[in-house]
Chain A
Amino acid sequence: MKFAHLLAASTLAVMAAAGAHAKTLVYCSEGSPEGFDAAPYTAGTTLDASGKALYNRLVEFDLGTTNVIPSLAESFEVSEDGLEYTFKLRPGVKFHTTDYFTPTRDLNADDVIFSFLRQASADHPWNQYLPGISYEYYNGMEMPALIKDIEKVDDLTVKFVLNRPEAPFLANIAMSFASIVSKEYADQLEASGNMAALNSQPIGTGPFKFVAYQPDAVIRYAAHDDYWKGREKIDDLVFAITPDPAVRRQRLEAGECHIMPYPAPADIEALKGNDSLEVMEQPGLNVAYLAYNTTVAPFDNAEVRRALNMAMNKQAIVDAVFQGTGTVAKNPIPPTMWSYNDAVEDTPYDPEGAKAILAEQGAEGLTMEVWAMPVQRPYMPNARRVAEMIQSDFAAVGVNVNIVSYEWGEYLAKSTEPNREGAVILGWTGDNGDPDNFLAVLLGCAATGDGGANRAQWCNEEFDGLLQQAKVTSDQAERTKLYEEAQVVFKRENPWATLAHSTVFMPMSSKVTGYIMDPLGTHNFTGVDIAE
Chain B
Amino acid sequence: MIRFLVGKLAYLIPTFIGITVVAFSFVRLLPGDPVLLMAGERGITPERHAQLTAQLGYDRPVVVQYLDFVMGLFQGDFGTSLATRRPVLGEFFALFPATVELGLCAVILATIIGIPLGVFAAIKRGSVFDQVSMGAALVGYSMPIFWWGLLLIIFFSGILGWTPVSGRIDLLYFFPNGTGFMLIDSLMSGQSGAFTSALRHLILPSVVLATIPMAVIARQSRSAMLEVLSEDYVRTARAKGMSPFRVVGIHALRNALIPVITTIGLQIGVVMAGAILTETIFSWPGIGKWMIDSISRRDYPSVQGGLLLMAGVVMIVNLLVDLLYGVINPRIRHS
B-contacting residues of A (Cβ < 8 Å)? 2-4, 6-7, 11, 14-15, 17-18, 24, 26, 32, 34-35, 40, 42, 130-134, 136, 139-140, 196, 199-200, 211-212, 214-218, 220, 238, 240-244, 247, 250-251, 254, 256-257, 377, 407-410, 412-413, 416, 426-429, 441, 447, 450-453, 455
What chain B residues lie within 8 Å of A136 (beta carbons)? Answer: 38-39
Q: Which of A132, A212, A242, A250 contacts B80 (CB 8 A)?
A: A132
Query: With the chains together, A15 CA to B174 CA distance in Å?
Result: 12
Q: Is the CB of A34 within 8 A of B42?
A: no
Binds A, one of B28-36, B220-228, B313-321: B28-36
Q: Is the CB of A134 within 8 A of B55?
A: yes
CB distance from A124 to the nearest CB of B (A): 15
Query: With the chains together, A212 CA to B177 CA distance in Å?
Result: 9
Q: Does B52 count as interface, using CB distance less than 8 angstroms?
A: yes
Query: With the chains together, A441 CA to B173 CA distance in Å?
Result: 46
Q: Is the CB of B39 within 8 A of A131?
A: no
Q: Which of B85, B157, B158 contacts A34 (CB 8 A)?
A: B85
Q: Which of A34, A199, A212, A256 contacts B164 (CB 8 A)?
A: A256
Query: Mind listing 20 A-B residue pairs with CB under 8 Å?
Result: A2-B161, A6-B161, A34-B83, A130-B85, A196-B86, A212-B176, A214-B177, A217-B285, A240-B167, A244-B283, A247-B165, A250-B157, A250-B165, A256-B164, A256-B171, A409-B298, A410-B32, A416-B43, A447-B43, A451-B44
Query: With the chains together, A130 CA to B81 CA distance in Å?
Result: 11
Q: Is the CB of A42 within 8 A of B40?
A: yes
What chain A residues lie within 8 Å of B52 (beta carbons)? Answer: 134
What chain A residues lie within 8 Å of B159 (beta carbons)? Answer: 3
**Residues A7 and B164 in contact in the complex (CB < 8 Å), given A34-B83, A407-B31:** yes
Query: With the chains together, A140 CA to B38 CA distance in Å?
Result: 11
**Residues A409 and B85 in contact in the complex (CB < 8 Å), given A6-B161, A243-B283:** no
Query: With the chains together, A166 CA to B315 CA distance in Å?
Result: 60
Q: Is the CB of B49 within 8 A of A215?
A: no
Residues facing A in B3-47 (CB within 8 A) are 31-34, 36-46
Main secondary structure on A side of the interface with B: mixed
Q: Is the CB of B41 within 8 A of A426?
A: yes
CB distance from A152 to the nearest CB of B (A): 29
Main secondary structure on B side of the interface with A: loop
CB distance from A521 to the nearest CB of B (A): 14
Flag B53-93 by CB within 8 Å of A: 1 or 0 each: 00111000000000000000000000010111110000100
What chain A residues lie within 8 Å of B173 (beta carbons)? Answer: 14, 18
What chain A residues lie within 8 Å of B165 (beta carbons)? Answer: 7, 247, 250-251, 254, 256
**What number of A-B contacts does a CB cutoff of 8 Å give?**
150
What chain B residues lie within 8 Å of A241 (beta carbons)? Answer: 285
Binds A, one of B117-125, B129-137, B189-197, B260-268: B189-197
What chain B residues lie within 8 Å of A452 (beta carbons)? Answer: 43, 45
What chain A residues lie within 8 Å of B219 (beta carbons)? Answer: none
Q: Is the CB of A132 within 8 A of B197?
A: no
Query: With the chains together, A464 CA to B48 CA distance in Å?
Result: 24
Q: Is the CB of A407 within 8 A of B95?
A: no
What chain B residues lie within 8 Å of A34 (beta carbons)? Answer: 83-85
What chain A residues lie within 8 Å of B43 (beta carbons)? Answer: 412, 416, 447, 451-453, 455
Q: Does B211 count as interface, using CB distance less than 8 angstroms?
A: no
List of 7 A-B pairs having minimum Cβ-Cβ separation, nearest first: A3-B161, A6-B161, A216-B285, A409-B36, A130-B85, A409-B32, A453-B43
What chain B residues lie within 8 Å of A377 (beta carbons)? Answer: 41
What chain B residues lie within 8 Å of A426 (beta carbons)? Answer: 41
CB distance from A242 to the nearest CB of B (A): 6
What chain A residues lie within 8 Å of B293 (beta carbons)? Answer: 32, 216, 243
Q: Does B324 count as interface, using CB distance less than 8 angstroms?
A: no
Q: Is the CB of B157 within 8 A of A3?
A: yes
Query: With the chains together, A247 CA to B42 CA distance in Å?
Result: 31
What chain B residues lie within 8 Å of A413 (beta carbons)? Answer: 33, 36
Q: Does B172 count as interface, using CB distance less than 8 angstroms?
A: yes
**Residues A215 and B95 in contact in the complex (CB < 8 Å), given A14-B193, A42-B38, A451-B45:** yes
CB distance from A520 to the nearest CB of B (A): 16
CB distance from A130 to the nearest CB of B (A): 4
Query: With the chains together, A7 CA to B172 CA distance in Å?
Result: 13
Q: Is the CB of B94 within 8 A of A215?
A: yes
Q: Which of B31, B80, B158 contacts A131 (CB 8 A)?
A: B80
What chain A residues lie within 8 Å of B44 (beta carbons)? Answer: 451
Q: Is the CB of B285 within 8 A of A26?
A: no
Q: Give the most central of B36, B56, B94, B289: most A CB within 10 Å.
A: B36
What chain A residues lie within 8 Å of B80 (beta carbons)? Answer: 130-132
CB distance from B206 to the nearest CB of A (A): 18
What chain A residues lie within 8 Å of B166 (beta carbons)? Answer: 242, 247, 250-251
Query: With the chains together, A161 CA to B268 CA distance in Å?
Result: 62
What chain B residues lie within 8 Å of A18 (beta carbons)? Answer: 172-173, 191
**Residues A200 and B86 in contact in the complex (CB < 8 Å), given A3-B159, A416-B43:** yes
**Residues A133 and B85 in contact in the complex (CB < 8 Å), given A441-B42, A451-B46:** yes
- Known interface pairs A220-B174, A409-B33; 12 further A-B residue pairs with C-beta atoms within 8 A, sorted by A's residue number: A3-B158, A7-B164, A14-B172, A35-B86, A217-B167, A244-B283, A408-B32, A409-B36, A410-B32, A412-B36, A451-B43, A452-B43
What chain B residues lie within 8 Å of A196 (beta carbons)? Answer: 86
Q: Which of A139, A140, A407, A453 contacts B32 (CB 8 A)?
A: A407
Q: Is the CB of B290 within 8 A of A216?
A: yes
Residues facing A in B187-208 (CB within 8 A) are 191-193, 197
CB distance from B191 to the nearest CB of A (A): 7
